[in-house]
Amino acid sequence: MNLTEVEDQAIQARMALVVGAKTFDRLFAGIHFDELDGDILFVYAKDEEIAAEVEDNFSLHIQIAASKILKREVNIVMVLPKQFVH
């Protein structure tokens, strides 16, 4: 299931509240919450370094926010660099 622009922006807004403006601008600027495949949420970040940091430090927060917004269970968050967008 591809996320709508509104769902993408809603998850971004929730994450902005969680991480704060400075961290959001550094890590989440340009991030795209793209697709939910089963219980796996695919997220695309600016580059490989940022993707790794977001996945390592904020996967649980993203899981919780996305599950509430999408009203579906999200168990895995895969954060990939934008170069892997299909």
Mean pLDDT of 60-73: 97
CATH number, residue 78: 3.30.300.180
Amino acid at 80: L
What is the CB neighbour count within 10 angstroms for residue 61? 16
The letter for the amino acid at 40 is: I
Q: How confident is the model at residue 83 (pLDDT cuts 50, 70, 90)?
A: confident
Model confidence at 86, in pLDDT bands (50, 70, 90)? low
Per residue in 14-49, pLDDT (tens digit) is: 999 999 999 999 999 889 999 999 999 999 999 999
Confidence check: pLDDT of 84 > 80: no
**Strand boundaries in 9-86, DSSP class E:** 32-37, 40-45, 76-81
Percent of the chain past pLDDT 90, that is, above it, reads 93
Q: Report how many domains make up the chain.
A: 1
- Half-sphere exposure in the Cβ direction for 75 (13 Å, CA): 3
Domain assignment of residue 66, given as a range? 5-84
